[in-house]
Chains A and B, each alone.
Chain A
Amino acid sequence: EDQVTQSPEALRLQEGESSSLNCSYTVSGLRGLFWYRQDPGKGPEFLFTLYSAGEEKEKERLKATLTKKESFLHITAPKPEDSATYLCAVQPASGGYQKVTFGIGTKLQVIP
């Protein structure tokens, strides 16, 4: 069974204080690993897709990396508007086109 574990569950940072969020996963063949951002009262919003170990993607202050067992979301010099819950998810190579296994998420708070 596919599993995704995210840590920490909650993270409080001062504005400008860089950090990383961790996502450990087990999946029977990886089709893709996703990072989503979810704001209160809204649905998850897509950030990145990673396909294979060694891949990296960047968007503004966010950088996602992937190994065979983990993914990291690095946040450089965060701003208060980066406060949200960040979700990691994996899609297996077989068994459904939209069936994705999500972690519980890391709730990030960035304090001015």
Chain B
Amino acid sequence: KAGVTQTPRYLIKTRGQQVTLSCSPISGHRSVSWYQQTPGQGLQFLFEYFSETQRNKGNFPGRFSGRQFSNSRSEMNVSTLELGDSALYLCASSLALPGSSGANVLTFGAGSRLTVL
């Protein structure tokens, strides 16, 4: 069973550019979320999607955006990159369904390592 696939794995950008990261969830998982991981802040929630709808958004500026497609694949975009955006961006998927009461185990991809120069 294929896991969560993220592309690209590594990328280098310069300040002011924009970047798009891609995530393919585990087959059958319709919930996808994105996290930013930095050494000082740890993993911080960016946003989550279910059935192409954003269900929740973390405390990040509007430069960070995302979307989900009908096949559950997701992309996130960061515009006008800043040095502080350098981080590991992790995508996670789960079987979570709206209204479910149980805890949702997240399965993470290997991440996309973004370096902003």
Contacts and interface: CB of A to CB of B under 8 A. Distances in A.
B48 A96 contact: yes
Interface in A72-101: 87, 89, 91, 95-101
Contact of B43 (A51, A87, A95, A96): A87
B100 interface: yes
Among A34, A51, A97, A100, residue most surrounded by chain B Cβ atoms (within 10 Å): A97
B43 A102 contact: yes
Nearest to A96: B56
A102 B104 contact: no
Contacts of B102: 31-32
A89 B90 CA distance: 15
B106 A97 contact: no
Interface string B100-117: 111111111111000000
A49 interface: yes
B28 to A, nearest CB: 15
Interface stretch (A12-20, A37-45, A57-65): A37-45
Contacts of A103: 42
A24 to B, nearest CB: 14
Nearest to A103: B42
Contact of B31 (A32, A34, A97): A97
A104 interface: yes
B22 interface: no
B43 A46 contact: no
Interface string B36-56: 000011111100101000011
Contacts of A89: 43
A44 B90 contact: yes
21 contacts: A34-B106, A43-B4, A43-B92, A44-B108, A46-B107, A51-B103, A95-B56, A96-B55, A96-B56, A97-B55, A97-B94, A97-B97, A97-B98, A97-B104, A98-B48, A98-B56, A102-B44, A103-B42, A104-B40, A104-B41, A105-B42
Interface of A: 31-32, 34, 36, 41-46, 49, 51, 87, 89, 91, 95-105
